[in-house]
Amino acid sequence: MDNGNEMQPLAGSQDEPADGQGGGEEDPVLACGIGSCCCCLLIGLFVLCYSNSPDLSCSSESGMGWNGVIPPMTKSQRPTENRWFRNDVDVFNTQLSNETVIGRWTSAKRWFSGKAYVYSMVVGDAEQVVLKAEVPTGWNWDQSHDFQLYICSDSSQRYKINEDVSAKYKFVIGSKTRNYAISSPAGVKIAESIHEKSDLFTFGGAHWAVDIKAPTGQALAKIEQQSYAETSWFDHKSYSATNYQPEFLPNEVVSFLSAVFDLIKQDQEDEDNND
């Protein structure tokens, strides 16, 4: 029965928050703590990525010249295992062993330092960067791949490797082509590297064959890629390189050309995974 008296909420009840305690307000101490944790986590990830990424700095103390770093006969192969923060192609001296790595080409990109490829000599667990192939900066309107390769002990002597993009559009049934012009440190064209991938329509037979020739047509070097029919399911296809004229075209240039396709391919895979 209604006695005419309405029930009044008690002061401080849960229906109405007490003064100074807004129901939707965040605790500033808690918010500050969460923000600090996130900031520390991001800094930690940055330091981890930076410390584990390959060192792009050249070692000028090697004192080695052209043909003193890489032998004329090599095998280059992308490793089976995934290596964090780096894309590698291992190099072997086939005159000594197909199992012992003598060095590796590495594709790496660090913040504020741009794109570059380096070659490191491997002795045990130690690596020393002795070669570097820089990628020119600026707008790459034709999507070509151009490089300037030099020895760390003398960065002024650079071999320039420039892709002829017109070769991409050369139509031959069952094959595709990539061409590179090679210039000496003096800026004179000394060779052309002709990359042809044939047997595209055969099961496991497709592979790259590279002929490096002087402007006169003289054969300077040969690079041959394995086909899938020649390797196991678990290994990447290797490249065998032979330099016939090291005194005319350094071994280091030939080795880089034997590794560059796998380096570019790994870079592209990373970009596709990040899209």
| pLDDT tens readout for residues 237-264 | 899 999 999 999 999 999 999 999 888 8
Query: Which DSSP letter does residue 196 get?
Result: E
Integer Cα distance of 41 and 56 in angstroms: 25
Give the contacts of 119 (CB within 8 A, at least 6 positions apart). 69, 70, 91, 103, 104, 105, 106, 129, 130, 131, 132, 252, 255, 256
Query: For the range 7-16, what are the long-range contacts, defined as Cβ-Cβ under 8 Å and sequence gap of 24 or more?
Result: none
pLDDT value, residue 116: 84
Place of tokens 């049934």: 173
pLDDT value, residue 267: 74
| Greater pLDDT, 207 or 20 | 207
Residue 234: what residue type?
F
* Average pLDDT value for residue range 39-68: 61
pLDDT value, residue 147: 93
* Average pLDDT value for residue range 82-89: 78
User: pTM score, two decimals?
Assistant: 0.74
* Average pLDDT value for residue range 229-236: 76
pLDDT value, residue 103: 96
Place of tokens 């330092």: 113
Dmax over Cα atoms in the chain, in whole Å? 116
pLDDT value, residue 4: 52
Integer Cα distance of 250 and 243 in angstroms: 8
Domains of the chain (ranges plus CATH)?
A: 55-274 (3.20.90)
| Greater pLDDT, 174 or 69 | 69
- Share the mean pLDDT of the chain: 78
DSSP secondary structure, 68-125, as one string = SSS-SEEEEE--SS--TT-EEEEEEETTT-SSSEEEEEEEEEETTTEEEEEEEEEETT
| pLDDT tens readout for residues 109-123 | 655 456 789 999 998
Count of C-beta atoms within a 10 Å radius of residue 250: 24
The DSSP element (H or E) to which 158 belongs, if any, is: strand 154-164
235 pLDDT band (50/70/90 cuts)?
confident
pLDDT at residue 204 tops 60 = no
* Average pLDDT value for residue range 43-66: 60
Residue pair 229/213 in contact by the 8 Å Cβ criterion: no
Count of C-beta atoms within a 10 Å radius of residue 150: 20
| Greater pLDDT, 169 or 234 | 234
Most confident of 108-122, 157-171, 197-211, 215-229: 215-229
| Greater pLDDT, 145 or 85 | 145
pLDDT at residue 44 tops 50 = no
